[in-house]
Chain A
């Protein structure tokens, strides 16, 4: 239902006229479908949605979505998204990008959006590679991986995106994959509906530079739904335990959902504005603050 509670939206209402530049076979085609479907389920009209990204193949995604899109600069989707949210807390704000955008160049921002509990859904299309620049090592590439910037194999441990956000205290942490489009759509929907910062890591294969094991077939072989494991998403420690297996297992579904979500930053901003508005001098008299009596 929309804010006005009248219109219903279908997935295709969120599809824009732009043709994706992604390579045929790219996992991101499924992701954008999942997003359309999740948005349709949530039902907010496109003009009440702001969708922000950084730079990378996946960061093209706002352009393929009918909404107010912002394809910004590398690594900075989250700062811009939080400015939008603070300027207008009533908007539905989505941020998206790749693993390099989110966990390398922009890695410093995530912790702060989490601790501010910004009501933003952040979708990372994790493909363990820099595709747009032709296959360099990414922060989630496996140790030992050979790429054009790691000719003899990477010497670094990958970032574990799930543990990263769980450790900082995100209220909603989930994982999805094009291996299960239905699951992906409902996971994104749940993330959007969560009142607070919500993170969805999506294993989205790169058909051009990705390794065989990370293609759909390989992912299917290691995927398991968290539901089927009987995981209780209110149990943060159990979630962290499962998240340890990132890279070996592909757990799909909600790792953690805070059963008692604290107020969001936007809520607190509105509260403060309401409490202080009575103290405002008329704007044209603001300089009276400088009169020393």
Chain B
């Protein structure tokens, strides 16, 4: 019996492959499994290629998985478009549409011999049982239930609920299609059984959501009452969640006329005393940079979510990448520190978003949450989160004494000045993008400018000591190390477990705080390190370079960097770590050679 299965399915938009993935994930959750689902699309609005990847496991899942255990191709042309996103190996069972008329020994997968290849007349079964080929996805779900033991009851329960309003006839048609798929699987058992073990946590409540919805929910939990934004893939769902919910909490949402107006309204709302946010993706981040600088100099709390996609410019709008790191850290001119946080999964998106608001409020600064398309769009099953353990921070308000002689940008010991807002008697001041003295009055003075730059940058010193925004996994004294953030961290977590199982002495650093660079924490981490990899989905090794800019990295630490939409597989990372170990051993042996 298997403990973990990775499904990858591809077809055209009309094949309903993504809704099949949704049904599978929900059924798995209902049966007590942990699950992660990611989606990937071509750029057509409708009818382009689409795929999903569903990983189901009896234990918590760290990432969407590497090679597929099960590949489902409704047609090969679409399947192949996803390339490395749906990697087939010698351990994969490949299921494909028989109507493609390709013999099982001639499927167009180059350089790999799958474990088993099965042609199934999916379309024909759908037509026969449901009267339409559109029921292909339900047939596939039946096949999965039959072969892999997931969702025999729960899938149809979910479909029934979803379609109840549309009438019994449709539900019945789906039931017939599902049964036909399941019967086919029963009649054609796999060469090697791949059924999954029953889950021990069956019956426990699970949440299912994706990174974008989780981010928005966390923001509302943190007290966010205003969202200003503009539609942009892959971040738009955050705004959509707000339009659904924020009114209920006395807040408002504005779909602005452009990216600049979106963040501008959020800056205004923050000035007016409300916690506020905006969300965007790379092109929008570029447009928002002037406003981010304004929020920095006016010392206004603000959370900006950047859901990264492939760049530059329009780039790859529907694919994930980590290449906005430099833009997140450095966008906007002038000497600015703007904290950048990155979640690594849907689960920790909650904590990181709440933390972003807390940091924004405490330090009176814009904060960027650097999400990515994969986290944003992937659905995870989650155990319920105990929200009572999260502390909510609000900005420092002036006291009655402060208001007697109110100076908005007063120098204080920790460089943080009480902030008033319109409506507060005695607190009127001028917020400005122009340099200002303590009262807020504009100035041209070089010495004031230097002092204020000092205030605005030194206030972040304590942030660089926040060890709780970093995670070290593995042996803390290991000589071989990995550094990874965002969705790539999940792959590295799994690679770490695999490497440890092979006896490698490796550790992994996952920074949730990317900027400002916490030199002390990295130096501590690298102290034992001789060889290492900074693993990232950027073409230019931006993370590695950002660290090098701030630290003297050990010579043996190198980037493992590649462009987005080419996911890392845990196996290849383990192989790279093994190479490092071999190099290390060779150099040790070299050192042992007698000196000439």
Contact = CB atoms under 8 A, between A and B. Distances in A.
A90 B250 CA distance: 14
A83 B442 contact: no
A83 B272 contact: yes
B271 A277 contact: no
A91 B423 CA distance: 7
If over half of B's interface residues share one DSSP class (helix, strand or loop), that class is named, otherwise mixed; here it is: mixed
A112 interface: yes
Contact of B432 (A47, A67, A72, A283): A72
A68 B429 contact: yes
Interface string B492-503: 000000000000
Contacts of A71: 430-434, 442
Nearest to B220: A286
Interface in A257-282: 269, 272-273, 275-277, 279-281
B75 interface: no
Given A18-B441, A68-B429, A289 B226 contact: no
A63 B436 CA distance: 11
A86 B252 contact: yes
Which of A63, A70, A87: most chain B Cβ within 10 A? A87
Contacts of B440: 69
A79 B269 contact: no
Contact of B247 (A47, A63, A81, A272): A272
A287 interface: yes
Given A83-B254, A272-B247, A289-B217, A88 B428 contact: no
A231 interface: no
B594 to A, nearest CB: 65
Contacts of B256: 79, 112
B271 A80 contact: yes
A11 B384 CA distance: 58
Contacts of B422: 47-50, 68, 84, 88, 91
Nearest to B293: A73
Nearest to A284: B387
B427 interface: yes
Which of A69, A80, A285: most chain B Cβ within 10 A? A80
Contacts of A63: 430, 432, 441-442
B265 A86 contact: yes
A79 B261 contact: yes
Interface string A227-263: 0000000000000000000000000000000000000
A289 B385 CA distance: 12
B588 interface: no
A83 B269 contact: yes
B63 interface: no
Nearest to B444: A21
B248 A86 contact: no
Contacts of A79: 228, 256, 260-265, 267-268
Nearest to B262: A79
Interface stretch (B177-185, B200-208, B546-554): B200-208
A77 to B, nearest CB: 9
B266 A287 contact: no
A83 B221 contact: no
Contacts of B429: 68-69
Contacts of A91: 272, 422-423
Interface in B243-287: 245, 247-252, 254, 256-258, 260-274, 276
A84 B382 CA distance: 37
Nearest to B380: A290
Report the contact-size class of chain B (Cβ under 8 Å from the partner).
35 or more
A276 B245 CA distance: 9
Which of B207, B252, B267, B429: most chain A Cβ within 10 A? B252
A108 interface: yes
A47 B276 contact: no
If over half of A's interface residues share one DSSP class (helix, strand or loop), that class is named, otherwise mixed; here it is: helix
Nearest to A49: B422
Contacts of A73: 290-291, 293-294, 433
A83 B428 contact: no
A46 interface: yes
B217 A70 contact: no
Interface in B185-232: 205-209, 213-214, 217, 220-221, 223, 225-226, 228
Contacts of A269: 247, 252
Interface string A199-243: 000000000000000000000000000000000000000000000
B424 interface: yes
Contacts of B217: 286-287, 289-290
B388 interface: yes
Which of B249, B423, B428: most chain A Cβ within 10 A? B428
B350 interface: yes
B425 interface: yes
Which of B268, B290, B294: most chain A Cβ within 10 A? B268
Contacts of B26: 292
Contacts of B87: none
Contacts of B562: none
B30 interface: yes
Interface in A75-107: 76, 78-88, 90-91
B356 interface: no
Contacts of B459: none
Given A73-B291, A80-B265, A87 B250 contact: no
Given A88-B423, A287-B385, A80 B248 contact: no
Interface of A: 16, 18, 45-50, 52, 55, 60, 62-63, 66-73, 76, 78-88, 90-91, 108-109, 111-112, 269, 272-273, 275-277, 279-281, 283-287, 289-292
20 contacts: A63-B432, A63-B441, A63-B442, A71-B431, A72-B264, A72-B294, A79-B261, A82-B261, A83-B226, A83-B265, A86-B252, A91-B423, A108-B261, A277-B248, A281-B248, A283-B223, A287-B217, A287-B221, A291-B384, A292-B206
Given A69-B440, A287-B387, 8 more contacts: A63-B430, A69-B428, A70-B268, A70-B271, A80-B271, A280-B248, A290-B208, A290-B217
Q: Which 7 A-B pairs have the closest CB atoms?
A: A83-B268, A79-B264, A83-B265, A280-B248, A87-B272, A87-B269, A79-B261
